[in-house]
A and B are shown apart, each in its own frame.
With several copies, the nearest count.
Chain A
Amino acid sequence: MQLDNKLMSMHEAVSRYVHDGDVIVIEGFTHLICFAAAHEIIRQQRRDLTVCRLTPDLIYDQLIGAGCVRRLVFSWAGNPGAGPLYALRRAVEQGIPNPIELEEYSHFGMVARLTAGASRLPFYPLRNYMGSDLPRVNPRIKTITCPFTGEELAAVPALNPDTAIVHAQRADKNGNAQIWGLLGVQKEAAFAAKHTIVVAEEIVPEKTIRDDPNRTLIPGLIVDAVVNEPFGCHPSYAQGFYDRDNNFYVQWREISADVRRFNEYLEEWVFGMADRAEYVSHAGDSLARLRAGTHLCEPVNYGY
């Protein structure tokens, strides 16, 4: 485990752990999608990334439209409830700003790939894909025969990204991170990656973590960098902190459909901002309106 100080700015975390050509995962299923990290990657103008996510969502639409991406590995590429991802479409259909390659699975396939990666298994077996055309267009979906029953199952290869970026509600300075609400594949992504950046709404004392150890999803011993970034997921959300900005997801349809408006968005909200703190103050009241109400759980007893 790395022993020196892991607490750093997003600028420093991205410049240390995201390099041109890297395989990157920024996970979070609807919940805890770290837009702050993507914006910093765009600001640092990383190129030729292979970006992997179950749902590319707006976050990868932005990375693709900003020219950071060479290859997309995914399972569902839409703007949830609000249409297509137009920057992705432009890249695929017209090579704007650059052509990208697609590598396509289903959700279960992506979950299985990250689980294999986290387990340092070379593949993961699943009962899937028979009768589907997906294996026909993706030669990395193969089959394997059970040595006990003779059944043929599907197999997908491990996914071990160079760096995973996972957002958490809270973490201590060593990266022990606690998450509640939807868990997605945050744990699997962090364990699968060679390097992990934990971004947290709050940096808390180690005692807060130790008070409820079953809540820890990601242990500090696999974490390389810890970034404190309040509102770091907007327009995604953080349960107990702020709601999803559903209006922005709808607006994105118009923004991303038009290259000019897309670039204006990047100019104003990404390149025009030094960091997430500036984004938050630039957004002002529109973020404050999203702040979560209070719905506390009851404590449990860890005594013996």
Chain B
Amino acid sequence: MATDKRDFTANELMVCEAARQLRDGEVVFVGIGLPNLACNLARRLNAPGLVLVYESGAVGAEPKRLPISIGDPSLVTDSLSVCSMFDVFSYYLQGDLIDVGFLQGSQIDRFGNLNTTVIGNYQEPKVRLPGSGGACEIAILAKRVFVIAPQTKRSFPERVDFITSPGFVDGNEARRKLGMPGAGPSMVITNLGCYEFEDGEMMLTSLHPNCTLEEVRENTGWNVRISPHLTTTKAPTIEELTILREELDTSHLFI
């Protein structure tokens, strides 16, 4: 039951669109915030058999409250398994068990490379960012990568200042040549639209309701490709919004 009233936030739309892309039975490497909401929304709707793996070692969590941190105790209680971080990174992630990894980034570029390390020069940065965490290995090892990121001209440069987590590096063939096991980023969801990759390059595939191509171009640091089959992103349904607002993030911490 779609609504075309503008009674949803950009974050809500991003969460709903990400949730729809998850398939039942997939194993997802989840982060806190919007990715966690997307996965839990998908579990209630299109993918009840989705298995959530947190880098902190909780597998199959069913948190009774909204987790604030990646190591929230609510991810442990009543989960299916808690394992060491060695197991998470070696056996789950490097072990080819992760179907979808979620990443966020301060910068993402034309080839889907992500930067969470520094703005400017590494040795004398303009802004020092937190660094990789698990992002580098998720980008390399997960079978597919979903990126959720707000879009501005500064956060969407043609080339990132520092590749923390490689996308397609400098084009389509790079991942294969470098021997990366995963297929790389398959979807980027911003506050303006959804992007997929063609020949390793980002391409706008759908525009969010009430967003324009001009906004996209103004907020992209290169001449972005537009899909010949450009569609409009489906607005969140009442059902999706109700679950998000009344069950998953009741205090509107992330949405």
Contact = CB atoms under 8 A, between A and B. Distances in A.
Chain A directly contacts chain B within the complex, with at least one CB pair under 8 Å: yes
Interface of A: 1-3, 29-31, 54-55, 74-78, 80-81, 84, 89, 92-93, 104-108, 111-112, 115, 118-121, 126-134, 137, 151-152, 176, 180-185, 187-188, 191, 206, 209-211, 213-214, 216, 219-222, 237, 239, 243-244, 246, 249, 292, 295, 302-304
Given A126-B94, A131-B140, 4 more contacts: A29-B57, A75-B131, A132-B136, A304-B77
A244 B72 contact: yes
Interface in B16-49: 24-27, 32-33, 49
Interface in B48-105: 49, 51, 55-60, 62, 68-74, 76-87, 89-91, 93-97
A126 B60 CA distance: 25
B15 interface: no
Contact of A210 (B56, B72, B79, B91): B79
Interface of B: 24-27, 32-33, 49, 51, 55-60, 62, 68-74, 76-87, 89-91, 93-97, 113, 117, 122, 128, 130-137, 139-141, 162-166, 169, 174-175, 178-181
Nearest to A181: B76
B77 A31 contact: no
Contact of B59 (A54, A106, A119, A219): A219
B57 A107 contact: no
A56 to B, nearest CB: 9
Given A75-B133, A81-B69, A216 B81 contact: yes
Contacts of A220: 60, 80
B59 A302 contact: no
Contacts of B180: 130-131
Give the secondary structure class of A's interface. loop
Contacts of B135: 106
A93 B139 CA distance: 29
Given A93-B128, A127-B181, A115 B86 contact: yes
Given A181-B82, A182-B58, A31 B166 contact: no
B130 A84 contact: yes
Contacts of B89: 107-108, 111-112
Contact of B140 (A2, A130, A180, A211): A130
A211 to B, nearest CB: 8
A137 B117 CA distance: 11
A106 to B, nearest CB: 4
B76 A302 contact: yes
Contact of A303 (B60, B77, B132): B77
Nearest to A4: B25
A130 B179 contact: yes
B32 A133 contact: no
Given A93-B128, A120-B96, A132-B136, A107 B55 contact: yes
A71 to B, nearest CB: 15
B166 A131 contact: yes
Contacts of A213: 58-59, 76, 78-82
B94 A127 contact: yes
Contact of A214 (B82, B90, B113): B82
B56 A132 contact: no
B74 A304 contact: yes
A302 B75 CA distance: 11
Contacts of A1: 25-27, 49, 51
A216 to B, nearest CB: 4
B137 A108 contact: yes
Nearest to A114: B86
Contacts of B97: 221-222
Contacts of B162: 133
B73 A244 contact: yes
Contact of A76 (B68, B72, B74, B133): B133
14 contacts: A107-B85, A118-B95, A121-B94, A127-B179, A131-B140, A134-B132, A176-B81, A184-B57, A210-B80, A219-B59, A219-B81, A243-B73, A244-B72, A246-B68
A191 B76 CA distance: 22
Q: 9 closest Cβ contacts across the A-B interface?
A: A30-B71, A131-B166, A304-B73, A76-B133, A78-B130, A216-B81, A106-B132, A130-B178, A106-B136
Nearest to B81: A216
Contact of B179 (A119, A152, A219): A152
Contacts of B71: 29-31, 80, 182, 184
Nearest to A238: B73
A74 B166 CA distance: 20
Nearest to A218: B81
Contacts of A295: 77
A131 B163 contact: yes
Contacts of B55: 107
Most buried by B among A118, A126, A182, A295: A182
Nearest to B181: A127
